[in-house]
Structure 1
Amino acid sequence: MSAAPIGTFPGVGPVTRGWLEEAGIGTVADLQSMGSVEAYRRLKFMFPKRVSLNALYGLEAALRGCHWLDLPPP
């Protein structure tokens, strides 16, 4: 796992980075250890009107190292 700042993770833009940092997810290792669903749940709780389901897709794609359109179907 990487102690690199979350903003260095491919696919995590400045807005999402800010939300993640406010939610206490400051490193790539933080995101990897909790997973995309828990990270999304935290963001949705903190920013219910601003965070959409696209954030979940983006976080999962970042963890898998792919574009969100390349995620396998559920």
Structure 2
Amino acid sequence: MDSLQQLPNIGAVLADRLRRAGVDDAGELRRLGSGRAFEKIRPELPEDARTHTLLALEGALRGMRWTAIPQTERDTLVHRVLGCP
């Protein structure tokens, strides 16, 4: 079992939210992908934290800080999952 908090971008608060939603470890996060994992925790996220949280999950899966994800890829992910332009 891989600890969620060993992944970049995932601190205690996000790890706790993921666990409460049934994402107990890094393997489960990888299996779900960032979009599906995000949808599991979306209802309890403040509106202004949604984009950052989605990108944090994607960065965690890539093994990098979310700010290192190329802007075009960030925009595509946000549009696909959140429906934002």
The interval holding the TM-score normalised by the smaller chain is 0.7 to 0.9
Question: What's the C-alpha RMSD, in Å, of the aligned pairs?
Answer: 1.5
TM-score (norm 1): 0.83
CA distance in 1, matches of 2:6, 2:62: 15
More helix by share: 2
Name the TM-score, length of structure 2 as normaliser.
0.74
- Secondary structure at 1:66 match in 2: coil
C-alpha displacement of 1:16: 0.2
Aligned length: 71
Bigger Rg, which one: 2
Shift of 1:7: 2.4
- Deviation string for 1:17-42 (max 9, x for gaps)? 11001000011000000000001111
Q: Distance in 2 between matches of 1:11 and 1:58?
A: 5
